[in-house]
């Protein structure tokens, strides 16, 4: 036998016996979602509910859609890797050194290099 307060027992008994107060709204959300080929997200469903005369907050619609497990997948953003390479841009300098880096005088040949690290 579990030990918890008597008030908790009666509280949960009463709570489980209650009907879902949002059942009508959930059914309406599902109906709107199915009518529009599952292309409506919570914003458009909220607008449609307002158009049909129901005053409901967009956060509540979002919460109920999450509870029902429905979401718009047609217009969702696809994640992709970031690539900064845009091809050959501008002119490429001629290779005048040809890997001959040794010189008799200091600072006769100066070179640079650009390296990018992902972080």
pLDDT in tens, 35-71: 999 999 999 999 999 999 999 999 999 999 999 999 8
* Domains in the chain, number: 1
Which structure tokens are listed for 59?
């956060």
Mean predicted confidence (pLDDT) in 7-35 = 94
Query: Which pair of structure tokens corresponds to residue 108?
Result: 């006769």
Instruction: Give the pLDDT of residue 115.
Output: 83
What angle is formed at CA 43 by the lines to CA 41 and CA 47, rounded to 5 degrees?
120
Q: Is the pLDDT of residue 83 over 90?
A: no
Q: Please indicate, yes or no, if residue 111 is contained in any of the structural domains.
A: no
Burial of 71 (0-12, 13-18, 19+ CB in 10 A): middle
Q: Which domain holds residue 67?
A: 37-75
Residue 39's pLDDT is what? Answer: 92
In a domain, 6, yes or no: no
- Return the H-helix or E-strand segment holding 17: helix 6-17
Please name which of 110, 84, 88 lies closest in space to residue 97, comparing C-alpha atoms.
Answer: 110
């Amino acid at each position: 036998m579990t030990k918890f307060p008597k008030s908790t027992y009666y509280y949960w008994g009463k709570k489980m016996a209650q009907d879902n107060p949002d059942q009508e709204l959930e059914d309406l959300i599902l109906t709107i979602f199915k009518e529009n080929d599952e292309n409506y997200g919570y914003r458009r469903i909220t607008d449609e509910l307002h158009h049909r005369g129901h005053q409901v907050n967009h956060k509540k619609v979002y919460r109920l859609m999450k509870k029902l497990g429905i979401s718009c997948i047609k217009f969702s953003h696809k994640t992709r890797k970031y690539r900064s390479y845009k091809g050959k841009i501008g002119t490429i300098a001629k290779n005048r050194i040809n890997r001959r880096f040794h010189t008799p005088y200091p600072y006769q040949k100066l070179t640079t290099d650009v390296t990018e690290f992902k972080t």
